[in-house]
């Protein structure tokens, strides 16, 4: 029942985003649309941003469950992230229109970092963020992804995001992956 209510609240938020408008979406509006009290909303989410993050994490969790075991989680997830923005599957453009962009940027930075860490764990079975090279790479990738995502949101990118990611993959990810495979592969 609780999980159903949580998903019902998310669906109500989605409906409000789809309707558009230029004003911020409030907890009261979401609760009213969902037919629940504000207390019920706050039982499930601490605020609208928590709801947005829950929606995104659920989506990514489903994607991770379907990723092939090909040691290429990074490229697979980049395709998913680009598709998410190109198709606006989760109404991310609506989030940026109705919510505080600075808060979303910080939230998405943490979210993308977590995705990249999961990709690394998926491909190598370990992700030692205490390792200086691993941490540097994850943070650099996070900033690159955030920059590209925000350029897409602002319609300020002069090429297709997939082209940027192909180059990023070729010049940074592949060499890093090769070094990490050598470091983290079991010794025969």
Kindly write down the DSSP assignment for every residue of 17-85, as one continuous string: HHH--SSPPPHHHHHHHHT--HHHHHHH-SSHHHHHHHHHHHHHHHHHHH--SSS-HHHHHHHHHHHHH
Band of residue 21 on the pLDDT scale cut at 50, 70, 90: low
pLDDT, residue 7, reads 93
Global pTM reads 0.76
Confidence bin at 8 (pLDDT 50/70/90):
very high
**Range in 3-17, 22-36, 105-119 the model is least confident about:** 105-119
Model confidence band, residue 129 (pLDDT cutoffs 50, 70, 90) = low
Mean pLDDT of the 122-146 span: 77
Per-residue pLDDT, 187: 52
Token readout for 68 is: 């092939």
* Cβ neighbours for 73, distance < 8 A, ≥ 6 positions apart: 64, 67, 118, 119, 120, 122, 123
Looking at every residue in the chain, the average pLDDT score rounds to: 81
Structural domain boundaries in the chain: 1-45, 49-184
Q: What is the pLDDT of residue 13?
A: 92
Cβ 121 vs Cβ 127: under 8 Å = yes
Residue, of 154 and 184, whose pLDDT is higher? 154
CA distance 96 to 108: 11
pLDDT digits (tens, 9 = 90+) for 138-174: 888 888 888 877 777 776 666 677 777 788 778 887 7
1-45 CATH, one of 1.10.260, 1.10.12, 3.30.1360, 1.10.10: 1.10.10
- The neighbour count for residue 83, using CB atoms within 10 Å, is 13
Phi-psi region of 125 (alpha: psi -120 to 50; beta: other; left: phi over 0): left
């Amino acid at each position: 029942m609780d999980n159903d209510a949580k998903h019902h609240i998310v669906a109500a938020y989605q409906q409000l985003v789809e309707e558009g408008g230029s004003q911020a979406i409030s907890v009261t509006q979401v609760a009213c649309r969902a037919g629940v009290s504000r207390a019920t909303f706050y039982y499930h989410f601490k605020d609208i941003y928590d709801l947005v993050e829950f929606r995104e994490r659920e989506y990514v969790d489903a994607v991770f469950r379907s990723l092939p075991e090909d040691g290429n989680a990074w490229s697979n997830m980049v395709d998913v992230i680009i598709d998410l923005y190109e198709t606006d599957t989760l109404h991310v453009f609506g989030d940026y229109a109705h919510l505080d962009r600075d808060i979303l940027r910080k939230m998405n930075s943490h979210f993308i970092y977590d995705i990249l860490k999961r990709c690394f764990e998926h491909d190598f079975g370990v992700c030692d963020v205490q390792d200086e090279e691993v941490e540097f790479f994850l943070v650099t990738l996070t900033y690159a992804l955030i920059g590209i995502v925000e350029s897409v949101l602002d319609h300020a990118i002069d090429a297709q995001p997939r082209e940027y990611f192909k180059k990023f993959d070729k010049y940074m990810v592949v060499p890093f992956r090769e070094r990490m495979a050598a470091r983290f592969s079991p010794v025969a």
